[in-house]
């Protein structure tokens, strides 16, 4: 698996599509059963701006929850959610780089929503994270599994084209940054977990002008925008070229623009 360059994040842009981005986390948590600890200890890996991490306090109101992320911009945005929770628990956020995060305590639940696709080598980190679970604890993660979608294919083609390859060729996330679902299932079952792995393709209905470009500015385009940060003219030209390709691939319809989005889910429960 090829290492992707570390992008800078823009929480404001990312949160423009917060509803579509949060829904899979709710669908993931719906498959998580009872936790062994009471109150539970929970980690959310790659927590971003913290809005989805806060959902955990709704389900486990007494839990002590920590969201981890390596983006200072994202962590700054989590401040509004940090502190005591209504059920007597606590929600905190901390800096951690998942490429070398080693859990320093035991967790009842470790979650991750839409983050591991940015972490090269995440598959090999899973056994260590499972080791950090209490008996009967759960590891639950979701990530996009759609690097074969036009959104990503067109981005890789454009960045590899003669006009752009000198500036941003290796910027996009690699096509192999997420494995096939069976690879996760095999790794988790082989570690002795009871595993539930599935995929869902959401027919995301986006509105507004060039909404797929707007979506990509929050995620897939981050590495390209990071690479072109010091050259606004080039960034504008790139965005125009990519926008034109997206308009063709995802045509605007009278009711909006459909962005089909396939996501991979895994819930692994450690033996009690």
> What distance, in Å, lies between the first and last C-alpha atoms of the chain?
33
Nearer to ligand SAM, 3 or 183 (CB): 3
Phi then psi for residue 196, to 5 deg, are: -130, 105
Among 118, 129, 238, 261, binds ligand SAM (CB under 6 A): 118
Nearest-Å Rg of the Cα atoms of the chain is 19
Query: Taking CB under 6 A as the rule, does residue 177 contact ligand SAM?
Result: no
The only residue of 52, 178, 193, 225 in contact with ligand SAM, by rule CB under 6 A = 52
Span interacting with ligand SAM, options 34-42, 57-65, 114-122, 253-261, rule CB under 6 A: 114-122
Sign of the torsion angle spanned by Cα atoms 221, 117, 176, 212 = negative
Residue from 34, 38, 80, 97 touching ligand SAM (CB under 6 A): that is: 97
Would you count residue 146 as binding ligand SAM (CB under 6 A)?
Answer: no
Which H helix or E strand runs over 130?
helix 122-131
CA distances in angstroms from 217 to 7, 102, 220, listed in the order given? 12, 31, 7
CB-based burial, 148-158: b 16+ in 10 Å, e otherwise: ebbbbbbbbeb
Which residue number places its CB atom closest to ligand SAM?
48
Cβ-in-10-Å burial (0-12, 13-18, 19+) of 65 comes to buried
Partnered with residue 41 across adjacent β-strands are 64
Q: Does 74 bind ligand SAM (CB under 6 A)?
A: yes
The stretch near ligand SAM (CB under 6 A) out of 45-53, 187-195, 233-241, 259-267 is 45-53
Residue closer to ligand SAM, measured from CB, 47 or 164: 47
Residues 10-29: x where in contact with ligand SAM by CB under 6 A, - otherwise, as a string: -----------x---x----
Cβ proximity to ligand SAM, 120 vs 211, nearer residue: 120
Q: How distant, in Å, are the alpha carbons of 10, 216, 225, 239 from that of 232?
A: 16, 17, 9, 10
**Among residues 70, 138, 177, 196, which is the contact residue for ligand SAM, using CB under 6 A?**
70
Beta bridge mates, 111: 44, 140
Least distance to ligand SAM, CB of residue 171, Å: 15
Q: Which residues here bind ligand SAM, judged by CB under 6 A?
A: 9, 21, 25, 46-48, 52, 69-71, 74, 96-99, 113-115, 118-119, 219
């Amino acid at each position: 698996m090829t290492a992707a360059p570390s992008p800078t994040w823009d929480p404001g842009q990312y949160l423009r599509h917060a509803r579509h981005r949060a829904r899979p986390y709710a669908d993931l948590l719906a498959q998580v059963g009872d936790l062994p600890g009471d109150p539970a200890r929970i980690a959310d890996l790659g927590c971003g701006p913290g809005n989805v991490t806060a959902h955990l306090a709704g389900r486990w109101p007494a839990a002590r929850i920590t969201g981890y992320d390596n983006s200072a911009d994202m962590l700054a945005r989590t401040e509004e959610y940090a502190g005591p929770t209504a059920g007597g628990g606590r929600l905190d956020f901390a800096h951690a780089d998942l490429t070398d995060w080693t859990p320093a305590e035991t967790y009842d639940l470790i979650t991750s929503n839409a983050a591991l696709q940015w972490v090269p080598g995440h598959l090999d980190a899973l056994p260590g994270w499972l080791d950090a679970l209490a008996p009967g604890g759960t590891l639950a993660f979701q990530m996009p599994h759609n690097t074969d979608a036009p959104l990503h294919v067109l981005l890789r083609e454009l960045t590899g084209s003669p006009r752009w390859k000198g500036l941003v060729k290796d910027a996009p996330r690699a096509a192999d940054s997420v494995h096939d679902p069976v690879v996760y299932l095999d790794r988790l079952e082989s570690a002795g977990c009871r595993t539930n792995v599935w995929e869902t393709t959401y027919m995301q209905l986006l509105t507004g002008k060039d909404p797929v470009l707007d979506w990509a500015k929050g995620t897939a385009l981050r590495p390209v925008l990071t690479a072109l940060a010091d050259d606004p003219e080039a960034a504008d030209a790139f965005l125009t070229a990519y926008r034109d390709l997206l308009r063709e691939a995802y045509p605007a319809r009278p009711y909006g623009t459909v962005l089909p989005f396939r996501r991979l889910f895994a819930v692994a429960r450690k033996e009690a």
